[in-house]
Amino acid sequence: MQLKRIDHIGVIVDNLADASTLLEQGFGLTPVPGTSRPDLRTVFFRCGDVSIEVIEISDPETRQARLGEGQRARIEHIAFEVEDLNQTLEALAALGVQPTAPPRMSGSYLTFWTNPDSSDGVMYQFLQRGF
């Protein structure tokens, strides 16, 4: 498995506008539109070679489940860009690390996330660009 770089850090928030205001006006980062679907909205903020993906889940119950009781924000995942996603899946399987689902397309890249129970309590996302 060859990790190229940390691509982004995913942060679940209770209010996308509030989080975006802090990152944009407070920290001076420029927003880059992300995803807008019925179930979630995202905005990316680039800082050097790494982005912060701010994620707001639409459904209150799902948001609470992913965010946690009484939390306003939390880091949800760390995303690595890799050369070969299939090779990465095989290498992780040899370590006992399991994906949450098969790889899927997301924009211009193929991606999957790890089950935190199999990856030492941390959810990692792996993505291969160029699709």
Question: What CATH number is associated with residue 68?
Answer: 3.10.180.10
pLDDT tens across 44-101, in order? Answer: 999 999 999 999 999 999 998 988 888 999 999 999 999 999 999 999 999 999 999 9
Reference 80, options 124, 122, 36, 22; nearest CA is 124
Distance CA 13, CA 96 (A): 30
Domain extent at residue 42: 3-129
Q: Strand, coil or helix: what is 130?
A: coil
User: What's this model's pTM, rounded to 2 decimal places?
Assistant: 0.88
Count of domains forming the chain: 1
